[in-house]
């Protein structure tokens, strides 16, 4: 009985997922053409619970250059522990030079990292009609940026949904309300792990049990 009580006390003292998460993205994270509370970010907010503050800094139509212009102000305003970057899709659809996209994403990831956040960079996939040569050049910048900055590369959350009926709107790009819970589940483990790691680090630094 004593061992059981001690175990409960120890478990209660261990760090849990908590902190502040900021998502900077485009229409895929801004609940395009649906109430924002139905989008995957709002669903993730509910799933993570009250210990985690979720800031959705996504804007429909946002580009990597727009994110690069906003990132310093967002970091100063919100001071997040974890930043998830979901940007570049609009650049790719417009055929922007991948080197320019990389420069913008470098700026975003560097600013978030310099300001003390753990960075999750989502891999972006492009439609096949843009041409394989361009797609290869564009998509290869994401693992390179993640490696250069020590960020975590997160798989694209629509990758397993493209071929499933009812998951995309008529435009073939934007996810439906039915797809949002699955998008949330695809992201949740990565976010939870990053938040728990931050809590564990704070716990150790505060002199918690090792």
Q: Which domains does the chain have, with CATH numbers?
A: 17-203 (3.40.50.1110)
Residue 102 CA to residue 75 CA, distance in Å, equals 20
Position 209 scores a pLDDT of 46
Return the axis-axis angle of helices 132-139 and 98-114, rounded to nearest 10°: 20
Six-digit token pair at 203? 């716990």
Spot the catalytic one: 27, 58, 111, 192. Answer: 27
Residue 208 CA to residue 11 CA, distance in Å, equals 12
Residue 205 CA to residue 112 CA, distance in Å, equals 22
Position 21 scores a pLDDT of 98
Position 42 scores a pLDDT of 98
Position 199 scores a pLDDT of 86
Spot the catalytic one: 38, 60, 72, 174. Answer: 174
Which of 208, 210, 188, 201 minimizes the C-alpha distance to 81?
201
Spot the catalytic one: 99, 163, 171, 206. Answer: 171
Asked if 171 is an active-site residue, the reply is yes
Q: What's the predicted TM-score (pTM) here?
A: 0.89
Six-digit token pair at 86? 């979901």
Phi and psi (nearest 5°) for 39?
-75, 165
Asked if 78 is an active-site residue, the reply is no
| pLDDT block averages, 10 residues each, the chain of length 210 | 40 61 98 98 97 98 98 98 98 98 98 98 96 98 98 97 95 96 98 93 54
Asked if 99 is an active-site residue, the reply is no
Residue 83 CA to residue 21 CA, distance in Å, equals 6
């Amino acid at each position: 009985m004593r061992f059981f009580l001690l175990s409960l006390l120890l478990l209660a003292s261990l760090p849990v997922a908590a902190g502040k998460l900021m998502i900077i993205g485009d229409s895929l994270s801004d609940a395009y053409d649906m109430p924002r509370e139905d989008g995957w970010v709002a669903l993730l907010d509910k799933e993570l619970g009250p210990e985690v503050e979720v800031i959705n800094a996504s804007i429909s139509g946002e580009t990597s250059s727009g994110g690069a212009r906003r990132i310093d102000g967002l970091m100063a305003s919100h001071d997040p522990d974890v930043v998830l970057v979901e940007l570049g899709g609009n650049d790719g659809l417009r055929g922007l030079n991948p080197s320019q996209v990389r420069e913008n994403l470098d700026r975003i990831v560097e600013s978030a990292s310099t300001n003390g956040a753990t960075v999750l960079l989502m891999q972006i996939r492009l439609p096949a009609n843009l041409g394989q040569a361009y797609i290869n050049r564009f998509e290869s910048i994401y693992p390179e940026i993640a490696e250069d900055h020590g960020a975590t590369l997160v798989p694209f959350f629509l990758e397993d949904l493209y071929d499933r009926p009812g998951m995309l709107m008529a435009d073939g790009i934007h996810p439906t309300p039915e797809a949002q819970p699955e998008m949330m589940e695809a992201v949740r483990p990565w976010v939870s792990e990053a938040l728990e790691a931050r809590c564990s680090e704070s716990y150790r630094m505060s002199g918690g049990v090792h």
